[in-house]
Structure formats: structure tokens, C-alpha cells
Structure 1
């Protein structure tokens, strides 16, 4: 594929609460700041871009009306630059990068991909979509509450509460160590409020005091949802199921967060004409979906590996959103991925998941860590609601 990653930047992740450091920053302004930071670092002229593609899941309120295009205008970019905002649930940001790569390659051009989600200001499900709120639609489409679908994976594949907590503890520990070591610093841009004061310079979401004992003491989060008919619905869809294993809680599930990110993708011809130096080559990408469960990243990974001719053992680093712990364990076990190459700096369980931004954030983390470790191949992956998933394979050009 004739597509290259020039650079990627992100905001720090903020706690998705009214008291969170980013809660007072408008989504448009948050994304605009990352666009400006990307422009300054990569050294491009926005008027020479072909397009802007932004991922955002809950496109209502502050995040409605094509937040990507709006943020570009707010950043002072050329009004002649078009722009779109897409929604592939949790995979939105990564799909934005994938589509940017396809467009750059097809048109010999340069495209910025981004993502934004301010969950403190625009709550998850705040768009009141039919999939979540209309019982007839949910029934006819076999939609299952995302937390219950994760518990379903644990039940079907025999992942215990202890196994899920062990993985979560690893994610929290790795994230705390990476933050303390400054491994996220290169990609970060400080975020300012409307008055120009810096409100956040590092991830607010990382907790250094997580222990196995604290995780074990957490109450399962989706027992009540199951008791109100969710478990019966799962058994109707999967008659072989017995008791549902409710193993997920706030400590081993993706942490809600605020954040934004942006990346520049360009073809080889565009690199030369714009005077840009790439950090990585995009080898390929794929999307996939699995019914009901959030395991689509497995199929998307297999498709991408088949298309590029690479194998699991060829990949130096995997940066895959660790959604719910059981879903992540299923991905690791099914594909046979060594833990020492998987989410080495933690992921969404520990760092937080600003939904539409996460995919682009993972791209930035992967680029930095591949260069730090002098690895060659890296894979980014995300699965989300309704089973949708996206994957991208990249080659580090610094080795």
C-alpha cells in the first residue's frame, strides 16, 4: 500500500467526570488543539491536504454537526479543506486512519485522520440511537448490552474472574510504569482551556495504586442488567448456556475518558511534494464483525495478516484496545500472542477509552514504542459494540 504515517499526536486522557481536568474544554477546541499540534510537528500546510477524517461515536450535542470539520475551522485551517466525521463505534478512530490511508494511496495525496470523544460532556448512548433504546430494533438485530456480551465471552470460553483480574492488574501496572518512565511524552500535546491556561499535560486516568486485592473486592457490574432480562436473552440466543459468569467490573473493563488525537497520512508522491519524512509505512488494514460478541478484532487481524503475508510471529508489538478483560484474553489466546509483545504499556482498562479517539491514540503509542524498541512490524486493533472491529499493520521505517 502506498500510504505512510508521517506523525501522530494526542491529548492526555482526562477522567470522564464533571471534575475531570478536560471537562471544561469543548470537544471542538480539544480536537482543534491536537490538529494544531500535528501541523506544527509535521510541518504541513492544511490547504494542501486532500481531506480530514475524524472518528467520533456519540455525535450529538457538543460533538454533533460534523465535529471534525468544525474543529478544523476552529483551528484556523483553510475553509476549502473538506472534512467528515464517521462512527464505527469504538473502532471509529482507527477506521478514520484506515480510510485516510486508502484515500491518500488512491489520490496520491495527504489526509489527516483524527478522533475525539468527551465522555464527561457527551455521555455514552447520549445520542439515543435505536440500537440502544428501541426494544424492537434491539430484538430484531440481536443486539446485546456491551457489558453482557463481554460476560458472554467469559462464559463461552471459560475465563474466570481471577484470570480477568490478573490481566487487568497487568494492564494497570504496565500503564503506571510507562507513565512514570515518560514513555507517552513524545505523542502528548498539553491541553489548554478557553483562557489559555494549561489544564492537562499527562494522562489523568492512570492509577498507580491498583492491587489484585482491590480488583477482587469490586462488585460485578452487569449482574443487575442480567437479572432484568439480559441473562435470559443470552440463553435464548445461545440455548447451550447455563449460568452466566458475570466477571467484569470497573477495574477490568475499559475506563471512560476524554481525549482527542490526530495523525497525518500521505502517499509517497505527496511526501516528496510536501517535503515530509514518514515514520512508518502502512502495510495494510481490514475491518470485520462478529455477531453479538466483541471479538471481531480476531477476524480483522486474520484478514489483515492474510492480505499482507505476515504471521503472528512476525509482529513485534501489538497495540490492541483491551476492552473487557475476557474479550482481550480471548484475542490473546485465540491468536497465540505472547504477553511480552502485547499492550506493553497497558491499554484502555488502565489508560481509558475516549471512544472515537482511541484508535488514533493507539497508532501514536505504537509508533513511539516501535521506535523505542527498534521493532519492525506493529499491529493496531480495536473491537467494539455490535462486534465491529478494525486493524492496521505498520512497518517502522527507523530500523
Structure 2
């Protein structure tokens, strides 16, 4: 039976909104990570069967199949195709899953999976200016609820009895862990310097090193006057891209490449679209049940920090070891460039597995509309 392995994984530094990456078009940003894979692995891009590219807001700079446009921007041969995938925040994680499935099925031999989002240039919710994405039948089913992830996060915090102090402490810890990881050079191996107007951008810029729970306690709530969710315990609006090279172990050997990890298994699950952010809980259960593994078998978990209640509710339901959760910080500290975030989380997962010699890692992300992906990878080197 064919396997699927990850040969290399790269990402851009994450730019904050209106920050360093703001001048860079999504196609050009994508091209730089695509070419970084070529440079690092020595692979002929003409051998790539497909580029599967996650992107959420596919209008303006990110319209017209940004996956294909990225291939052209990178200067790759015109015969290399590209496709754009949208599973909301999990778009590039779905790209990784789909690439692995295609390779394991024998339909493709070499795939690049990843994604991009330039939220400065294509703002979150920009698609709503041209129409209503849900439609009257969906609104009728859910009593005209105006689907809003921030409101969903408030509902989750209430359901799990999560206080603002707990959320703010978790968020401050995310900044602290990310700062330590940056200072220790944990990200250096997979972060690609990005050329911006002739200068090199190298470090995630959303990090606030002085953040504490006390500092966060002074921020105004965003969705309810008496609520608990605010900008400081939510993911940052960001710009970025990520890319992974996926093939079989046999094809990697033929090309003289040494894989980092094996794609072990994946699952996707739906959940209530009102509290849509709880999707990682059933997705995690599903992938563990499918494999026979338990949470104790997993050495590290990456649970996207869309809002602080998401990983905390996930912890409460799974019983996982809190010390294994997001040990390098997360989106609250460094940002969440939607279509790129699945690949970004995978680079962090691989970094922690390699530095701590952990056999299994699990990644999961909540997604708009109430779905979630969960993916398990196994370390090879």
C-alpha cells in the first residue's frame, strides 16, 4: 500500500494587518514559498502533479484560482496545474489531507499543498459586500441566527464556564511561548525570509512580548458588553503563506529526498454551525477512533487558537495533557492568515516533534460553518 510523506514544510513570517507584508500580492507571496521548496529540496517543479492551495476569501487579489496563479508567479512550467481549496480556516490543512489522499491513492506522485491569505489586502468578510453567503433556507433552519464566530466563542466560554481571567491567562501564555520559541530559533529552519521591496522580512511581527493577563484585562470586549471575548484573546488578523512537499517514500528515495514525517491519518467532522468552533472535538475523536490511538499516544497537539475558548474547551473534552498543547504559542500570539494557517500549524507541529523526538503529532482547526479537520502525522527523522 502506498504511503504519503512530508519531505519539507515552509512558511512565511506572519505579518500583522497593515504590516510588513501588506505591499505583497497574494500570488507573489505564494510564489516565494513555492520556490523556497524548490530551493531547499532541489526538486524539479515540472515533476509536481498538482499544487493544492488553501484560500478563504477568494475575491480581488485572491480570486481567479489563486493556486494556479501562484504557480505562474513562481515561474514554474505552465503544465503544472493548481487548484484552490476552501474549507474556511482549515483550507490549507484540507489541502494537506487532500494531497496525501491523492498520493496514497496512486493518482498523484508529487503534490505541493499549502495556502495563502493576505487579510490586509482582502479583508475578512469582504465577500459579504456582494451578497449573502448563507441564504434564506439556512437562516430559517437556525432561527435567523446571524452566524458569527465571535458570538460562537462567547457561547462556548459560557457553556464551559470559562472566565475572562482564564482566557486572558491562556492568551498571555501563548505570547510567552511564542517569544521563547522565536528566541530559541525553533522556527528558523522552516521560516522563509520574504523579499519586501528589497528587504528581507524574517520574524513573526504580531508578537507582543509585554502581554500579561493584567494588561489584557483592560481591553474592551468585542461581541457582548458583558462578555469575555476581545481582541487580546482572539487570533490576530494577519498575512502569510505556507507550503509542504508531499510524495511517497519510494518516490522520495528515487529523488534522493529524506522525508520528515509520514501522513498517518486524517478526519473531518461537522458540528453545530452556531457554536461552530467546537468542531475540533468531534474531529479529534473521529481520527483517534479510526486509528486506535489515544490522546496519551500523541506527543504534541496543535489546536488553532481562533479564540481562546476553542483550545480550552477542546482540552476539557479530550482530557489531553495541557503541557502538550500548542507548546510554541499560536494564532493569538502571532496571527491567523486564514488560508495559510493549516500549513503554518503543520510547520510548528513538525518543529516540536523533531526537537523533542515525538513519534505522533495531531493538528486540528475549527472552521467557519461548523466543520473541522484533524490530522495525525508520524515522525520519521
State if a TM-score over 0.5 links the two structures: yes
Q: Which residue of 2 aligns with 1:66?
A: 65
Q: Which residue of 2 aligns with 1:145?
A: 148
Contact 1:130 1:137 in 2 (8 A): no
- Label 1:61 to 1:130 Cα distance change in 2 as closer, same or farther (>3 A): closer
SS of the residue aligned with 1:337?
Answer: coil
SS of the residue aligned with 1:144?
Answer: coil
Note if 1:343 corresponds to 2:346: no
Q: Which residue of 2 aligns with 1:298?
A: 281
Q: Give the C-alpha shift of residue 67 in structure 1.
A: 0.6
Q: Which residue of 1 aligns with 2:115?
A: 115
- Label 1:391 to 1:199 Cα distance change in 2 as closer, same or farther (>3 A): same
Q: What does 1:1-399 align with in structure 2 at a 5 Å threshold?
A: 2-17=3-18, 20-107=19-106, 109-128=109-128, 136=136, 139-140=139-140, 142=142, 144-193=147-196, 195=197, 197-223=198-224, 246-291=227-272, 292-293=274-275, 294-398=277-381
Whole-Å Cα distance in 2 between the matches of residues 298 and 129 of structure 1?
Answer: 32
SS of the residue aligned with 2:122?
Answer: coil
Whole-Å Cα distance in 1 between the matches of residues 297 and 41 of structure 2?
Answer: 29
Structure 1 residues 140-149 or 43-52, which shifts more? 140-149
Return structure 1 stretches of 4+ with deviation > 4 angstroms. Answer: 129-135
Q: Give the C-alpha shift of residue 137 in structure 1.
A: 5.6
Whole-Å Cα distance in 2 between the matches of residues 129 and 96 of structure 1?
Answer: 27
1:283-308 Cα offsets, whole Å, 9 max, x none, are: 00111110121111111111111112
- TM-score normalised by L of structure 1: 0.90
Whole-Å Cα distance in 1 between the matches of residues 281 and 218 of structure 2?
Answer: 31
- TM-score normalised by L of structure 2: 0.94
Structure 1 residues 273-282 or 116-125, which shifts more? 273-282
Q: Give the C-alpha shift of residue 365 in structure 1.
A: 1.1
SS of the residue aligned with 2:264?
Answer: strand
1:24-71 Cα offsets, whole Å, 9 max, x none, are: 011100000000001111221111111110000000000000111101
Q: Give the C-alpha shift of residue 155 in structure 1.
A: 1.3
Q: Give the C-alpha shift of residue 204 in structure 1.
A: 0.8
SS of the residue aligned with 2:232?
Answer: coil
SS of the residue aligned with 2:71?
Answer: helix
Whole-Å Cα distance in 1 between the matches of residues 68 and 86 of structure 2?
Answer: 14
Q: Which residue of 2 aligns with 1:229?
A: none
Whole-Å Cα distance in 2 between the matches of residues 130 and 327 of structure 1?
Answer: 30
Structure 1: gaps (5+ residues): 225-244
Q: Give the C-alpha shift of residue 192 in structure 1.
A: 0.8
Whole-Å Cα distance in 1 between the matches of residues 112 and 255 of structure 2?
Answer: 14
Whole-Å Cα distance in 1 between the matches of residues 132 and 233 of structure 2?
Answer: 23
1:121-147 Cα offsets, whole Å, 9 max, x none, are: 000111228885667366235352110
Structure 2: gaps (5+ residues): none
Contact 2:169 2:212 in 1 (8 A): no
Q: Which residue of 2 aligns with 1:234?
A: none
Contact 1:316 1:377 in 2 (8 A): yes
Aligned length: 374
Contact 2:219 2:231 in 1 (8 A): yes
SS of the residue aligned with 1:100?
Answer: helix
Note the aligned Cα RMSD (angstroms).
1.7
Contact 2:235 2:306 in 1 (8 A): yes
SS of the residue aligned with 1:69?
Answer: helix
Contact 2:71 2:81 in 1 (8 A): no
